[in-house]
Amino acid sequence: MGKGKIPGALQKVSTQLSKRSKIDGIGITMTAELSDVFESKFEGVKYILEIVEKKWSNINPLVMDNTGHLISINEACKNYLRVSSANWAATSEVLAKIFQNCILIDTGSTTTDIIPIINHKVAVSGRTDTDRLSTGELVYTGILRSSIPSIVHSIRVKGKETGIASEIFALTADVHFLLGNISQEEYSTEIADSRGTSREECLSRLARTVCADTDLLGEPELIRMAYYIYNKQVEKIGDGLKLVWKRLLIEEKLKLNFPIITTGLGGRILGRDAASKQGFRRFFDMGSILGIKDPQAVPAVSTALLVAENKGEKLVWPTY
């Protein structure tokens, strides 16, 4: 998120919630603490938790940590690294109640989480973002906000291998909108040049990544560039999936029936394609499993379900 975005957004959500007549419980899961609006993770976590506690101290909100447990705000403040960027843990814990064995691929606007579930347990090697980057469980590429140089360093333009300018001239949102993978409404991130999200503007930004414009490069050439970037992004996610699968020590032939669950705005596109290229053939959509339309809401819904269960609700989990 850009500077200044997080506090206002949190205040807006808190105001909306305060209008409800009755709230039985509140669960918190976050990634906002990594925003550059905060100088450190500690500052980010502290700020977020203080806002929630100020509004809802009488309800005793619970915070999702990266081990899949719900803890008090007081404990979360003392162990801020356990709750930092732990939204993946909420989705994974719900999934572990539904599938005995599977792999979750959650591709959002900026990152991709690759989380194995084995014997109804979340079987990750890393818990913090830094650790997960080294295990393949966190791949820093997403469907909206990733820069083009973070995916490719060169690309063929009119038959010649051409270097990519190391500038934020365009984002993956431009690529995926041009390819029809997202709608104009789903292009919901800050725009690289602060202009619009029309097809012509996306083409213009993509051309600029090789220091050109749409007068120099026609639409067919730019669409070829977009497909190349897309395939390299799929390959990057596939590399993370290969690392995770290798660590599980499961026979290669079992890939055919091993469930892959996708979620996030890019899950059905990037996540599924990456898994398919790695030989997986059995796919489920997390939003469909939970009965929600917006894949970006899955961590929030998962957290709510876990809070309800924590408070004694008898939930009936589907089985696959």
Burial state string for 224-236 with b = 16 or more CB within 10 A and e = fewer than 16: ebbebbbeebbeb
Looking at the predicted structure, is the pLDDT value of residue 203 above 90?
yes
Looking at the predicted structure, is the pLDDT value of residue 6 above 80?
no
**DSSP class of 37:** T
pLDDT of residue 9: 41
pLDDT of residue 254: 95
Q: Where are the beta strands (DSSP E) in the chain?
A: 27-28, 62-64, 70-72, 102-107, 112-118, 121-122, 138-139, 154-157, 160-163, 259-263, 282-285
* Alpha-carbon gap, residue 152 to 138, rounded angstroms: 18
Q: Which of 24-28, 136-140, 174-178, 217-221 has the lowest mean pLDDT?
A: 24-28
User: What pLDDT digit, counting tens, does each position of 242-252 carry?
Assistant: 999 999 999 99
Looking at the predicted structure, is the pLDDT value of residue 295 above 80?
yes
Of 236, 128, 142, 135, residue with least CA distance to 188: 142
* Alpha-carbon gap, residue 133 to 240, rounded angstroms: 9
Looking at the predicted structure, is the pLDDT value of residue 2 above 50?
no
User: What pLDDT digit, counting tens, does each position of 28-70 carry?
Assistant: 999 889 888 999 999 999 999 999 999 888 889 999 999 999 9
What are phi and psi for residue 269, nearest 5 degrees?
Answer: -100, -75
What's the one-letter identity of residue 215? D
* Alpha-carbon gap, residue 70 to 65, rounded angstroms: 6
Mean pLDDT of 95-120: 97
Domains and CATH numbers, the chain: 100-292 (3.30.420.190)
Mean pLDDT of 204-227: 98
How far CA 149 is from CA of 5, 163, 168, 172, in Å, comes to: 25, 10, 8, 10
Secondary structure tally for the chain: helices H, strands E: 12, 11
How far CA 265 is from CA of 12, 72, 93, 145, 269, in Å, comes to: 23, 30, 20, 12, 8
Looking at the predicted structure, is the pLDDT value of residue 1 above 50?
no
* Alpha-carbon gap, residue 184 to 197, rounded angstroms: 7
Of 128, 141, 170, residue with least CA distance to 265: 141
* Alpha-carbon gap, residue 19 to 32, rounded angstroms: 24
Q: How confident is the model at residue 320 (pLDDT cuts 50, 70, 90)?
A: confident
C-beta atoms surrounding 291 within 10 Å: 8
pTM: predicted TM-score of the whole model, two decimal places: 0.91
Q: Which of 16-25, 81-90, 108-117 has the lowest mean pLDDT?
A: 16-25
pLDDT of residue 14: 44
Mean pLDDT of 261-276: 97
